[in-house]
Amino acid sequence: MICGVDEAGKGPVMGPLVVAAVAVNNAKEIENLGIRDSKLLTKTKRKELSEIIKEKFTFAVEVIEPKIVDEYRKKNKLNDLNREAFGKLISKLDPNIAYVDAADVNEQRFGIQIKSGLTNQKDTDIISMHKADAKILVVAAASIIAKETREHEIRKLKDKIGDFGSGYPSDERTIKFLKSFYSANNKWPAGTRKSWKTLERIRPVKTLNDFGINNDK
C-alpha cells in the first residue's frame, strides 16, 4: 500500500488548514482517472474527482482550526504543525510507503521528522519532496481531497459570517470584509487567524478620540 499526503490552506488569513491522505494498493490503480494537482483543476472537475477518490480509495482528513494554527504560528512552528498532522494521517492509514509534499525547505529533514513520530505498525518509508502534488498522482489525489474539504469548511464559515472571498491576504474582497467587520464590531470575525501580520497592517489606527480624549483642548 502507498499513500500520498498534502495540505490546503497554509497561507490564508481566514479558515482552517486541512491535511489529507489518500492510500492505494497499487500505483496503477490511480492512473487514467484524470487526477492532477488540485491547483490545476476547475472547481467542477475537482469536486467530481474528489467524489471518485472517496469512492475508490481509502482516505483520511485532518481539519485544523485557526486557533490551533495561531498557537503554532506564534511559536514559529507551522512546519511542526504540518509534520504532526501528516504523521497522524500516515499512522492512521498504515501504508508501506508514504509520499509527502514537503512543508520544510529541507525535504529530507521533513521526511525524517515525520518518520520519527509515526505510531503505526508498519515500518513506513517516507518519501518527502517539494511539489509532490505535481509529480506523484497519489499526492495529487490527497491535494484534491484537502482542497475540496477546505472549500466545504469555507462555505460553512461564510454561512455564519458572510461572504469574505477566498480568505487569502492577496484577495481584496477578503481584506475589505475584514476591515469592515472590525470597524463595525471592534473585533475580528470567527475563523480569522489572529496571528497573521495581515491583521496588523489593516487594523484601524486608534486616535485619542477613540478613548474619549479630545486632543484639541
Looking at this protein, which amino acid is placed at residue 214?
N
Q: Report whether 46 contacts 152 (CB < 8 A).
A: no
Q: Round to whole Å and give the CA distance between 64 and 27.
A: 29
Q: Among 146, 128, 137, 141, which Cα is nearest to 62's?
A: 146
Beta strands in 41-188 (DSSP E): 58-64, 97-101, 125-129
Q: Which domains, and CATH codes, for the chain?
A: 2-159 (3.30.420.10), 161-211 (1.10.10.460)
Q: Round to whole Å and give the CA distance between 4 and 133.
A: 9
Cell 486632543 maps to which residue?
Answer: 215
Q: In a 3-state reduction of DSSP, which class is residue 202?
A: helix
Q: In a 3-state reduction of DSSP, which class is residue 49?
A: helix
Q: Round to whole Å and give the CA distance between 139 and 209.
A: 54
0.85 cut: is pTM over it?
yes
Looking at this protein, which amino acid is placed at residue 46?
R
Looking at residue 206, its pLDDT comes to 59
Looking at residue 54, its pLDDT comes to 95
Angle, helices 107-116 vs 78-93, to 10°: value is: 50
Measured in whole angstroms, how far is the alpha carbon of residue 102 from the centre of its chain?
13
Mean pLDDT by 10 residues, the chain (217 residues): 94 96 91 84 91 95 97 92 95 96 91 94 94 92 96 96 95 96 95 95 65 47
| C-alpha distances in Å from residue 199, one per residue of 11, 66, 129, 152, 165 | 13, 14, 32, 24, 16
